[in-house]
Structure 1
């Protein structure tokens, strides 16, 4: 069994008799992969696996697990074509991300950023703020994270429309999205990054939003054509954005997004709450025991769709 990145807390003590090989970078990964049957990619921002992959090097692999909900860093064609199982960390981030989204909605409605700026200037300026009750939130992504967001926003009084790949009970199909945008007060992007969703928010779809709309992206940066969104924010075409993910991370220091008063920026941390790494280890250790005993693995990714499309799957 092999791990790439920093040492996950408690993994060595809980891995049983599994033989661990650690690789901190691509060079070390080249030496550690041969003969390994399991690969844990702990650093979800790393492209090391893609950089070093070739079929002979990874011939022994039977299972790859990523410590993230998104699999875009490891879902490259060669790995997807290999006879192995891919799993993710679905379920760990659902509630934390939903709380983050609700916090962003409230921050916009209650003009929190301006209050903090005025406080720093010791300026007393009375204003009226917005209520979120009855506002419309369109949440794109009907997986566990999107569902958790929808439930929490609905509990706070918003009218929520959930959008998924295809229509289902309480879920709009992705191709219905253009018709949902014109009256959306909040557009929340929680979809996996796939060929269908890459660049889904661009100048054309932004033009369908009302000027009062705020965009919240907690999915993946490339869901958005960032230059188009930046232009819309700068011109006042839409009212604001809360962005946790970006096309390039870290966000470059010269990006105009940093200085926009109507933009809230966070460094890809919407799901990272106290204890999140322990929860990631807990999930992996449970799956490792399932793998060793030939039982069904949790969070098996549908390689064609690029996300978990059912509750299980077999190694």
Structure 2
């Protein structure tokens, strides 16, 4: 009789919920969890025979080089998210271990957050809320801040994967002139392609929807932020390292940026005394742009379907490290 596949779940999900996803496999899968949510617990769980790993969407227990080395029987890694930063992608590829993400599962949720955040910035909703809660009634002060209607804004989207494409569609539906930049232009895109520097120079609202990697880290730094039109707005639903916190803060303080909506930061969470936390023109969010009920259900479905496919000998989907999608036991 074939031994059950050892599936290790690193995400802080309910154990009954995770086991329930694979209950129909009739003993073909044995689901385990780290005893402790720290590096020692991670490595102990991996060395205990883990074959399939469901990653940690919080980023606390990452499959870095040391973790990959601690798992001699590792055959497949499924990340219950889109981003794969912090994971030893090259190491997994070298070992022939497919790495899959949940591409597209939360695209609508993230795109809606980007549009909602742009609305909030255009109309100073967060600033107004704080002022009224503090006892004020700043009608004239708000007018002096220059509230704007979103359909008059030129929107530039850096990155045109599932999130960028959906955001472009939603902004265009509101009447915005939408442009985009990506390393591989999309002839079918319902938006105007521009080179990156031109995109920044013509964007009243800049939306970042790029993955974080060696090529994009620091991509939108001080020099590029200086290309933006005066009083531009920044919406970051990508990763904090793409537009470094210090560069964003400097652009806000200089007035180049009139406001920023940040769902992501270089270090998460940022320090309690981080100056972005107290800046009146910043909308802050704890990396939850894709956290909707619908998106979470979609991600769970992707995870379940891919793990079941691996166990049943079918190709897994959304492999991002170039490895054969057919999972093989060690």
Q: TM-score, normalised by structure 1?
A: 0.89
Stretches (4+) displaced over 4 A: 170-175
Select between 125-134 and 166-175 the one with higher mean Cα deviation: 166-175
The answer to whether the aligner puts 1:287 opposite 2:301 as a matched pair is: no
2:187 corresponds to 1:169: yes
* Residue aligned with 2:160, SS: coil
- Cα pair distance change 1:267/1:54, threshold 3 Å: closer
CA distance change for structure 1 residues 313 and 140 in 2, over 3 Å: closer, same or farther?
Answer: farther
- Structure possessing the higher radius of gyration over alpha carbons: 2
Shift of 1:150: 1.0
Higher RCO (CA 8 Å, separation ≥ 6 residues): 2
1:14 maps to which of 12, 15, 21 = 21
- Cα distance between partner residues in 2 of 1:175 and 1:109: 24
Q: Distance between the aligned counterparts of 1:161 and 1:209, measured in 2?
A: 14
Name the CA distance, whole Å, in 1 between partners of 2:198 and 2:229.
12
Structure 2: state its 5+ residue gaps: 1-6
Partner residue of 2:204 out of 165, 170, 185: 185
Counterpart residue number, 1:43: 57
1:28 positional shift = 2.0
Write out aligned runs for 1:112-127 (5 A).
112-120=125-133, 121-123=135-137, 125-126=139-140, 127=143
Taking the aligned partners of 2:73 and 2:177, their CA distance within structure 1 comes to 50
Distance 1:75 1:303 in 2: 13
CA contact (8 A) 1:218 1:243 kept: yes
Q: Is the 8 A contact 1:206 1:232 kept in 2?
A: yes
- For the 8 Å contact 2:62–2:87, the answer to whether it is kept is no
Distance 1:194 1:303 in 2: 16
Residue of 49, 56, 59 corresponding to 2:72: 59
SS where residue 96 of structure 1 aligns?
A: helix
Q: Distance in 1 between matches of 2:218 and 2:229?
A: 19
Q: Deviations over 1:82-101 (max 9, x none)?
A: 21000011122111111111
Shift of 1:129: 2.8
Q: 1:223 aligns with which of 242, 247, 253?
A: 242
CA distance in 1, matches of 2:287, 2:193: 25
Distance 1:204 1:283 in 2: 39
Tell me the TM-score normalized by structure 2.
Answer: 0.86
Tell me how far apart the structure 2 counterparts of residues 36 and 291 of structure 1 sit (CA, whole Å).
14
Secondary structure, counterpart of 1:137 in structure 2: strand
Give the conservation status (yes or no) of the 8 Å contact 1:93–1:271: yes
Q: Which residue of 1 aligns with 2:4?
A: none
Instruction: For 1:141-160, list aligned pairs within 5 A.
Output: 141-160=159-178
In 2, the alpha carbon distance for the partners of 1:173 and 1:159 equals: 9
In the alignment, is residue 202 of structure 1 matched against residue 221 of structure 2?
Answer: yes
Confirm or deny: 8 A CA contact 1:25 1:48 kept in the other structure.
Answer: no
Partner of 1:212 in structure 2? 231
Q: Is the 8 A contact 2:62 2:86 kept in 1?
A: no
Matched pairs, number: 307
Distance 1:249 1:258, change over 3 A: same
CA–CA distance in structure 1, aligned partners of residues 73 and 136 of structure 2: 63
Cα deviation, 1:9-36, whole Å, max 9, x if unaligned, reads 6221121321112113321222222322
Coordinate RMSD, CA, aligned: 2.4
**Equivalent residue for 1:240?**
259
What's the CA shift for 1:104?
A: 1.0
1:87-106 to structure 2, matched below 5 A, reads 87-106=100-119
